[in-house]
Amino acid sequence: MKIGLFVPCYVNAIYPDVGIATYKLLDYLGLDVCYPVNQTCCGQPMANAGFEKEALELAMKFEKIFNQYDYIVAPSASCTAFVKYNYPSVIEDDNLPETSGKIYDVCEFIHDVVKPSKLPGRFPHKVSVHNSCHGVRELQLSSASELNIVRYSKIKNLLSMIEGIEIFEPAKVDECCGFGGMFAIEEPDVSVCMGEDKLGNHVATGAEYITGADSSCLMHLQGIAARKKSPIKFIHVVQILASGL
C-alpha cells in the first residue's frame, strides 16, 4: 500500500511540524509513505473565491502527481474535502478524477483505514476540540450538530487513545470560526467577530490547547488569540497523536 503524503501549501510554510507529525505517525503505523516534492496547492483558495479557472491547472497537476498512489493522505480536512468533492466539477472530465476517490484526511485515514487499537504517548493536558466546518459537514469526521444522526467523533475517538488527555468541546460545538479562505479578508469584520466568539467558547472550556484537524481554522484562531494576548495554545490533532513517537 503506497501512500502519497500531501502537505498543503500553508501547512508547508507555517506549520511544517504538522507535516512531520503526519509522516512520523504514518511511518510508525508501518505504512509506505512518499512525499512527491513537486506538489504545491490543491487550488481551494482560488475556487472558493470564485476562480475555479485558476484552480484547474493546479487540480490537473495534483491529479498527475498523486494518482499513482493507493491513498493520498493530508493533514487538512478542508483541502481533502476540496479534492474529494470539488475536483469533479473543477476538472469537468468525463472520467472522475482518481484523486477524489483516494484522498483522506489523516485523522479519517487512521480512524477508518488503519484502525490502530492503541497509540503510544502521553499528553497530560486539557484540550478543546475544534470541529471544522469542512471536517464535520463535508468529511463527516464527527456528527454534524444540525443532523438527527447517532453522535460520534472520529477525532475524539483517536485522541482518547492518548494517555492523560482530557477532552472538551466548546459551546456551539461546530459553528464556523470565520476563516473561510478569502472570506476572512473580504468580510473582515464578520470574520473577526466569528473568530473572537469561537475563541471565547474554546477558552471557556478551561482547556490549555485548542486542537483540530484543520490547521487553517487553527491559524485563524491563533491570529485572534495573539492579538488578544490570550495564553491558549494551538496544536494539530496529529501532533498529539504523534506525541509519543
Partner 1 sequence: MSTKHAKAAKRFIRNREQEQWHNETLWLVRQKRDNMAMRIPEWEELREQANRIKAHTVAELACYLEQFSSAAENNGAIVHWAKDAQEHNEIVYDILKQHQVKKLIKSKSMLTEECLLNPYLIDKGIEVVESDLGERILQLMGEHPSHIVMPAIHKKREEVGKLFEEKMDSEKDNSDPTYLTHIARKYLRKEFLTADAAMTGANFGIAQTGEVVVCTNEGNADMGTSLCKLHIVSMGIEKVIPDLKSLSVFTRLLARSATGQPSTTYTSHYRKPIEGGEMHIVIVDNGRSKIQHNFNYERILYCIRCGACMNTCPVYRRSGGYSYTYFIPGPIGINLGMLKSPKKYSDNLSACSLCYSCNNVCPVKVNLADQIYRWRQRLNLFHKASTTKKLMSKGMKFIFGHPALYGAVLKIAPIINHLPRFLVYNKLNAWGHGRELPRFAGKSFNSMWKKGKQLTINN
In whole angstroms, how close is the CB of 210 to partner 1 at the nearest point? Answer: 14
Collapsing DSSP states into helix, strand and coil, what is residue 96?
coil
CB 221 within 8 A of CB 130: yes
Q: Report residue 63: phi and psi, to 5°.
A: -60, -45
Q: Rule CB under 8 A: is residue 92 a binding residue for partner 1? A: no
Q: Select 90 or 165, whichever has its Cβ closest to partner 1.
A: 90
Q: Rule CB under 8 A: is residue 72 a binding residue for partner 1? A: no
Give the separation between CA 34 and CA 94, rounded to whole angstroms. 29
Q: What x-and-dash track marks residues 137-166 binding partner 1 by CB under 8 A? A: xx-----xxxxxx-----------------
Quote the cell numbers at residue 221. 484562531
Q: Write the CA distances from 88 to 22, 56, 120, integer angstroms.
A: 27, 11, 38
Q: Which stretch binds partner 1 (CB under 8 A): 98-106, 118-126, 160-168, 195-203?
A: 195-203
Q: Which stretch binds partner 1 (CB under 8 A): 113-121, 122-130, 204-212, 223-231?
A: 223-231
Q: Rule CB under 8 A: is residue 187 a binding residue for partner 1? A: yes
Quote the cell numbers at residue 93. 472530465
DSSP codes of every residue in 117-175:
S----B--SEEEEE--HIIIIIS-SB--TTS-S---BHHHHHHTTSBT-EEE--SSTT-
Which strands sit side by side in the sheet containing 209-212, from one edge to the other? 166-168, 126-130, 209-212, 233-236
Strand partners, 234: 210
Q: Rule CB under 8 A: is residue 196 a binding residue for partner 1? A: yes
Out of 13, 30, 95, 118, the residue judged to bind partner 1 by CB under 8 A: 13
How many of the chain's residues bind partner 1 (CB under 8 A)?
76
Contact set for partner 1, span 17-46 (CB under 8 A) = 17, 19-20, 23-24, 27, 35, 37-41, 43, 45-46
Out of 157, 223, 232, 233, the residue judged to bind partner 1 by CB under 8 A: 223
The continuous run of DSSP H or E covering 51 comes out as none
Q: Rule CB under 8 A: is residue 102 a binding residue for partner 1? A: no
Give the separation between CA 20 and CA 33, rounded to whole angstroms. 12
Q: Rule CB under 8 A: is residue 55 a binding residue for partner 1? A: yes
Contact set for partner 1, span 118-137 (CB under 8 A) = 133-134, 137
Out of 25, 47, 237, 240, the residue judged to bind partner 1 by CB under 8 A: 47
Q: Rule CB under 8 A: is residue 183 a binding residue for partner 1? A: yes
Q: Select 36 or 116, whichever has its Cβ closest to partner 1.
A: 36
